[in-house]
Amino acid sequence: MHFVETFRELQDEAAEWRRYLHQNPELGYGVHNTASFVAEKLASFGINHIETGIAETGIVALIHGEGGDGPAIGLRADMDALPVREASNKPWSSQTLGRMHACGHDGHTAMLLGAAKYLAKTRNFKGSVALIFQPAEEDGLGGQRMVEEGIMDRFEIGQVFGMHNAPGLEVGKFAICDGPAAAALDEFDIVVKGRGGHAASPHLTIDPVVIGAQIIVGLQTLISRGTDPLESLVVSVTKLEAGTAYNIIPEYVQISGTVRSLKSELRDYAERQIRKCAEGIAQGYGAEIEFKHRRLEPSMVNHKEATHMAIKAACRLVGSESVNDKKRPSMGAEDFAYMLQARPGSYINLGNGQTAALHNPAYDFNDEALPYGIGYWVTLVETALPV
């Protein structure tokens, strides 16, 4: 059993790494300096199995336990920053104008490095740990690419775990939920094709503006009248394009929007019903539609057994009163979803205290959270792969 005090010894060193990374933020797949820093540190801890250049700049490193053979457990951190102009006023502020670690991936990287240092020294587990450092979490689907490049098979990863800091949650507290934890993200375009003409002679046209308006109103009932009120689904119309002049009824109208869902049945339902609703309304008025629906990211689903393991580890570290195991899912998207599609696992939130929100220019990762994150990773490994 561990107490967080064990990991406080690593806090100063991890804070130094974290602040160095914070001063030197890089974007997307271009995290070259960050990746070299990570690889150098890993080597200095005596880890000799380090593979770089996965998904361009991603890294996987293996630490073998001294407790004998067994499966590998994957621990994932993200390394990329955001195109945000920093306003945190911290002495370790970004040295590159217009770029900053506004999502705390500097902290995630430092915590996984801290855990790597500890685990490489103690090796008090069975099997091995695969440390996954991924690029391009924010918009490039780096997690998906690492999975496509075969890391799960190559490193024989049986289960995979992720962690993200959470502003607003007290330092030293954790939050997690079983099942869907972040939403799937889709986009749609509906083109309503009518017949254009003079605005003074509407009877000679098929007016796509009026039909488009009916479709937008129709879409509002897909959820309120069509799905279980206790389930989560969002359909938002966010773009509308129509017409060029006061006296012309246009040929077409384009309606675009986004769909967020937690369950695949609802994702399928939304795609099917948006099309059906638009087609039905358009046909009633003699118009036609063209429909495009793009599935961008899957929902992130925590697996039951792995989530129990994560809760057990967090409770060992901080006590059950500091672990909320019924966290509400987020309707945002997270590309760790692809790793959880490839292997069972779970994603946990770590308290960052009362700081500015994620992606806000005043945000900064809270270094007080470092020993908790490092302690969680180590405890998770020793709980999931006991000697």
Question: Residue 103 or residue 152: which is nearer to Zn ion going by CB?
Answer: 103
Question: Residue 72 or residue 163: which is nearer to Zn ion going by CB?
Answer: 163
Query: Which x/- pattern, by CB under 5 A, does the window 56-95 give for Zn ion?
Result: ----------------------------------------
Size of the site for Zn ion (CB under 5 A): 1
Q: Could you tell me which stretch among 98-106, 206-214, 254-262, 363-371 binds Zn ion (CB under 5 A)?
A: 98-106
For 123, left (φ over 0), alpha (ψ -120 to 50), or beta? left
How far apart (Å, rounded) are the C-alpha atoms in residues 323 and 210?
52
Q: Could you tell me which stretch among 4-12, 100-108, 279-287, 298-306 binds Zn ion (CB under 5 A)?
A: 100-108
Name the minimum Å distance from CB 165 to Zn ion: 8
Question: Residue 146 or residue 289: which is nearer to Zn ion going by CB?
Answer: 146
Query: Using CA atoms in the order 121, 122, 126, 131, what is the torsion angle rounded to 10 degrees?
Result: -40
The b/e string for 324-335 (b: 16+ C-beta within 10 A; e otherwise) is bbebebbbebbb
Q: Could you tell me which stretch among 91-99, 103-111, 258-266, 376-384 binds Zn ion (CB under 5 A)?
A: 103-111
Name the minimum Å distance from CB 15 to Zn ion: 19
Q: Could you tell me which stretch among 99-107, 112-120, 184-192, 291-299 binds Zn ion (CB under 5 A)?
A: 99-107
Going by C-alpha positions, the residue among 101, 150, 100, 155 that lies closest to residue 129 is: 155
Those residues with Cβ within 8 angstroms of residue 191's Cβ, 6 or more apart along the chain or in another chain: 252, 253, 254, 289, 290, 291
Q: Cβ of 77: how many Cβ atoms within 10 Å? A: 27
Question: Residue 35 or residue 103: which is nearer to Zn ion going by CB?
Answer: 103
Among 103, 110, 249, 282, binds Zn ion (CB under 5 A): 103
Name the minimum Å distance from CB 102 to Zn ion: 7
Name the minimum Å distance from CB 164 to Zn ion: 6
Residue ranges with strand state E in the chain: 49-54, 58-64, 72-78, 128-134, 157-166, 174-175, 179-182, 184-193, 197-198, 233-242, 248-249, 252-261, 288-297, 300-302, 323-324, 345-351
Name the minimum Å distance from CB 182 to Zn ion: 11
Query: In what helix (H) or strand (E) does residue 152 lie, and over which residues does it extend?
Result: helix 151-154
How far apart (Å, rounded) are the C-alpha atoms in residues 61 and 291?
45
Return the residue nearest Zn ion (CB atom).
Answer: 103
Q: Could you tell me which stretch among 57-65, 97-105, 141-149, 367-375 binds Zn ion (CB under 5 A)?
A: 97-105
Q: Are 323 and 311 in contact (CB under 8 A)?
A: yes
Question: Residue 103 or residue 274: which is nearer to Zn ion going by CB?
Answer: 103
Residues that bind Zn ion (CB under 5 A): 103
